[in-house]
Amino acid sequence: MWSINWRKHMAHEDHLLKKLWMRFALRGVQFADRHAALDRFYRVEDPWGMESPRELFRFGETNNLIRTHLGCPNRILELGCGEGHQSAELLKISNHLFGMDVSSRAVARARTRCPTATFAVGDITSTQIEKQWVPFDLVVACEVLYYMKDVPAALAAMQRLGKACFVSFVDSRRERLEPLIAAIPHVSWHRIEFQDLGWTAVWWRTTRDFSNHIN
């Protein structure tokens, strides 16, 4: 009994410490391309709490939406893969996953978590995106657009690389991101809700003709 309470207490302490770390380390990173600060944030393991029920719920809902509306993609490019928590989920609905993140600390952990996937440090403009994989069947950017300075440029790059795109963003970033994404033709929207938290998920098929694409 005592040990269960102690474990609960420690989990609570850990949660509070991570919350404090988040407040401190993530100052000024929104819409700012502050890659070094994002990498520093990963000095602690799982700083976002990606193993929490709310995030696991979001991953599950994301997979359901992709499977239902875009089928099971053969090759996925995941931008902002972090430590690979969502990558592990995306691997359940795809054959090949290529993950990118600006944090080398995060990418090192993602490689351990998902040994069958391929990971690289960089952003969407990175030359490390395997040319022979383009076009990807799906380019995913979940909870990452709001760290980028030039969101329209990132959205345009996603559409150049994939046959379909999927993005999600938490409610607090909705005001800024929604109008930018609404400008893309034929997007579909869905709201994901877990207790008092909400996210917007958006997906669309791209219009680029890849039939004459030469790698």
Ligand X SMILES: C[S@@+](CC[C@H](N)C(=O)[O-])C[C@H]1O[C@@H](n2cnc3c(N)ncnc32)[C@H](O)[C@@H]1O
* Positions in the binding site for ligand X (CB under 6 A): 38, 48, 50, 79-82, 85-86, 100-103, 106, 123, 142-144, 147-148
What span, in angstroms and rounded, lies between the C-alpha atoms of 30 and 154?
Answer: 15
What span, in angstroms and rounded, lies between the C-alpha atoms of 85 and 82?
Answer: 7
**Which is nearer to ligand X, 2 or 39 (by Cβ)?**
39
Q: Which DSSP letter does residue 42 get?
A: T
What span, in angstroms and rounded, lies between the C-alpha atoms of 163 and 38?
Answer: 29
Closest distance to ligand X from the beta carbon of 84 (Å): 9
**Which is nearer to ligand X, 8 or 43 (by Cβ)?**
43
Which of 173, 172, 165 is closest to 145 using CA atoms? 173
Closest distance to ligand X from the beta carbon of 193 (Å): 16
Among positive and negative, which fits the CA dihedral 43, 44, 46, 49?
negative
Q: Which amino acid is at 197?
A: L
**Which is nearer to ligand X, 101 or 137 (by Cβ)?**
101
**Which is nearer to ligand X, 8 or 19 (by Cβ)?**
19
**Which is nearer to ligand X, 86 or 159 (by Cβ)?**
86
Closest distance to ligand X from the beta carbon of 21 (Å): 14
Burial class (CB in 10 A: 0-12, 13-18, 19+), 18: middle
What span, in angstroms and rounded, lies between the C-alpha atoms of 51 and 193?
Answer: 17
Q: Nearest residue by C-beta to ligand X?
A: 80
Closest distance to ligand X from the beta carbon of 204 (Å): 18
Closest distance to ligand X from the beta carbon of 68 (Å): 19
